Amino acid sequence: MKTFTKIAKIYFSPSSTTRKIVDEIANKFEGTQEEYDLLNVAGGNSPKEFDDDTLVIVGMPIFAGRLPKTASTKLMNFKGENIPAIAVVNYGNINIGDALLELNDILKENGFTIVGTGATVSQHSIVTDVAAGRPDEKDLEKLNEFVEKCREKLDSEEFEDIEVPGNKPYCEYKKVPLAPICDESLCTYCYECVSSCPEEAIPDMDPGQTDADLCSACTACIYTCPEDARYFTGDLFEGMKERFLTNFNQRKESEFYL
């Protein structure tokens, strides 16, 4: 059985579901786990090249059919000459768009060998009633089957180019026209939201505010707030919620490619 000294986990996970998928995969392999959290403002800003004894596992969320721009920019700093990688995108039951192709393209351009790749479904981070509670037991069973097939490929050391859905040129970036508000009566000025924001959209001198021009609606500040003081509201949010619940409430399954 192919073994590795190190398991490198690279992820961008504002609501923690993408990290959960990466952890599920990584825990199926022996080796010291190294984490590269691209959500952190300082994370992934320096070039990093991996050693031959490393298996790399990459997880990225999908924002409107693309990888988050901040995350993809940081991901380009990671290099691996023929280093094996398992790559997944994670989305909230809406659509994959070109994100899976984009992720695979970046990794291949940076020298990685893709062992297996796929798109997993998790609870939508903004409209949480869509795909609520996912990944569920069925999702994790399917993920484990995928990991076992990746292990078999690693043992065989037979890797062919994997075709995944997506188009070139990729679809244009679309900014979600939402930004969380803060109930300042609940805010305790713990600054967790400030440190979690990858876009530096929350001023440290006034954490009750959000710069809507900088905000990517990633939801990190919402999920990290211990007082539940941050949330989406307003007509745009309510309209999105109604539209998503009407059009995207039918269960979609994870897709894997080997």
User: What local confidence, expressed as pLDDT, does residue 45 receive?
Assistant: 85
Residue extent(s) of CATH 3.30.70.20 domains in the chain:
181-231
Residue extent(s) of CATH 3.40.50.360 domains in the chain:
6-169+251-257
The DSSP annotation for 171-186 comes to: PPP---S---EE-TTT
- Looking only at the bridges linking them, the beta strands covering 54-61 and 113-121 are unpaired
Q: Identify the band that residue 40 occupies on the pLDDT scale cut at 50, 70 and 90.
A: confident
Which residue bears the tokens 């059919």? Answer: 65
Structural contact between residues 242 and 236, judged by C-beta atoms closer than 8 angstroms: no
Q: Identify the band that residue 42 occupies on the pLDDT scale cut at 50, 70 and 90.
A: confident
Q: How far is CA 110 from the centre of its chain?
A: 19
Q: Facing residues of 8 across strands? A: 34, 56
User: What local confidence, expressed as pLDDT, does residue 41 receive?
Assistant: 78
Q: pLDDT tens digits, residue range 225-245?
A: 999 999 999 999 999 999 999
- Looking only at the bridges linking them, the beta strands covering 48-49 and 78-79 are parallel
Q: What is the mean pLDDT of residues 51-62?
A: 98
Rg of the chain's alpha carbons, rounded to an integer? Answer: 18
HEC states along 127-165?
CCCCCCCCCCHHHHHHHHHHHHHHHHHHHHCCCCCCCCC
In CATH terms, the superfamily for domain 6-169+251-257 is Flavodoxin domain (3.40.50.360)
Instruction: Calculate what percentage of the chain has a pLDDT beyond 70.
Output: 100
**Residue 1: pLDDT over 80:** no
**Four-way CATH pick for 181-231: 3.30.70.270, 3.40.50.150, 3.30.1330.10, 3.30.70.20:** 3.30.70.20
